[in-house]
């Protein structure tokens, strides 16, 4: 019997509801294949905990989480808390603390799910987006500056004036700035992961996404590293694409893409587009992966506070995030059982939530996936 300790952070809004179904399905899959024991331990971090204690996620909790095999997250975000507090203080802190430098997003359309793209079906939408997860514009280097006494502002002013010939009144004007940072090592490890994923999944093309024609410094380095890593995989076709062009071609020809690798910010944007191509956010799972450490799995949708407590949210994305977790833990058989059950439920179309045109509840969808696992 192989035992895994899974830290569960249900979070906010619909998070507790969808994570409940995910845990239910994962337990059923473990029982079905045998030899796998999943020990789920719940942690309270999220809006309610923050509002009661003013605590986001303390160092002691991070150390405790480091002793788990994986983290299973519901959702974060609450209108009672200013935007960014929970996301940066919990979600990004977890990603950075555990160096989860890979954000893996399968973009897959299942049979029975309507695609908003005319004439496109499951045979056209089946690729992966590998997003760098700890660098780029998410490193939190930035701020605001005002006043003639600020050396920071003096530097920014001189750069601004040299570039745009615009005079700035340092006593009145304010500048906000955000710095994007890409390291050679950070780029190399995520790009190599993308090529290894392509090799492992039998994919024959890796597309690198950037905006090197305008942001030449950071994404010029990204391109150099991509070309260097690609030489180690001569059997895999490669190409470069600007992020605006990729956004267009995702819609026009999604079948072209097999593995896409991208810096952090662009990956954040195009994966939401990918979610809509595959039928909506309720079907889109994601993994924050450290191949040698603790990884975290979650649906990519938000907390949807207006739907909280109504038992109407689609749990499929969360269930598939659990499927990704099983695969990352090396339990491929159990992972396959989960995906096959989800695919069967979606293909039949009898039990589905409102976002897919049905009237089923969150728990009814989870129950049906479990039923498919048990019957199989």
Same fold, 1-109+283-376 and 115-135+182-278: no
- Helix, strand, coil in percent for the chain, rounding step 5: 45, 20, 35
Strand order in the sheet with 102-108: 36-42, 2-11, 70-75, 295-299, 285-289, 102-108, 126-132, 259-262, 205-210, 237-242
Domain ranges of the chain: 1-109+283-376, 115-135+182-278, 137-181
Cα separations in angstroms, 96 against 92, 163, 247, 288? 6, 34, 27, 10
Q: What is the pLDDT of residue 277?
A: 96
Higher-pLDDT residue of 308, 137: 308
Ranges assigned E (strand) in 189-320: 205-210, 237-242, 259-262, 285-289, 295-299
Give the helix/strand (H/E) hosting 320.
helix 316-328
Of the candidates 277, 292, 243, 289, the one whose C-alpha atom is nearest the C-alpha of residue 263 is 243
> In CATH, which of 3.40.1130, 2.40.50, 3.40.50, 3.40.1350 is domain 115-135+182-278?
3.40.50
Return the CATH number of 1-109+283-376, one of 3.50.50.60, 3.40.50.150, 3.40.50.300, 3.40.718.10. Answer: 3.40.718.10
pLDDT at 198 exceeding the cut of 90? yes
Residue-wise pLDDT for 314-370, tens only, equals: 999 999 999 999 999 999 999 999 999 999 999 999 999 999 999 999 999 999 999
């Amino acid at each position: 019997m192989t035992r895994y300790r899974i830290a569960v952070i249900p979070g906010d809004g619909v998070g507790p509801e969808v994570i409940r179904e995910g845990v239910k399905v994962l337990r059923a899959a473990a029982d079905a294949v045998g030899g796998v024991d999943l020990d789920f331990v719940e942690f309270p971090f999220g809006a309610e905990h923050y509002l009661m204690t003013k605590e986001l996620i303390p160092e002691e909790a991070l150390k405790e989480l480091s002793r788990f095999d994986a983290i299973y997250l519901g959702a974060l975000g609450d209108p009672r808390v200013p935007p960014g507090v929970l996301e940066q203080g919990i979600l990004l802190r977890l990603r950075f603390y555990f160096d989860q430098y890979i954000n893996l997003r399968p973009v897959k359309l299942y049979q029975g799910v309507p695609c908003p793209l005319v004439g496109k079906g499951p045979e056209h939408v089946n690729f992966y987006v590998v997003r760098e997860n700890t660098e780029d514009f998410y490193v939190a280097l930035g701020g605001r500056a005002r006043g003639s006494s600020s050396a920071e502002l003096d530097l920014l002013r001189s750069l601004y004036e040299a570039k745009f010939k615009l005079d700035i009144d340092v006593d009145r004007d304010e500048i906000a700035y955000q710095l994007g940072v890409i390291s050679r090592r950070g780029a190399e490890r995520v790009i190599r992961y993308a090529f290894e994923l392509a090799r492992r999944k039998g994919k024959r093309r890796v597309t690198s996404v950037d905006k090197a024609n305008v942001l030449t410094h950071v994404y010029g380095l990204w391109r150099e590293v991509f070309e260097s890593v690609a030489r180690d995989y001569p059997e895999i076709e490669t190409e470069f694409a600007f992020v605006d062009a990729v956004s267009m071609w995702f819609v026009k020809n999604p079948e072209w893409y097999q593995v896409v690798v991208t810096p952090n910010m662009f990956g954040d944007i195009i994966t939401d587009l990918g979610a809509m191509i595959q039928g909506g956010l309720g079907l889109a799972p994601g993994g924050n992966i450290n191949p040698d450490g603790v990884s975290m799995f979650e649906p990519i949708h938000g907390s949807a506070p207006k739907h909280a407590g109504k038992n109407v949210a689609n749990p499929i994305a969360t269930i598939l995030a659990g499927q990704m977790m099983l695969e990352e833990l090396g339990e491929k058989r159990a992972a396959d059982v989960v995906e096959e059950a989800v695919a069967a439920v979606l293909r039949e179309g009898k039990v589905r939530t409102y976002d897919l045109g049905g009237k089923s509840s969150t728990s009814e969808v989870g129950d049906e996936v479990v039923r498919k696992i048990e019957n199989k």
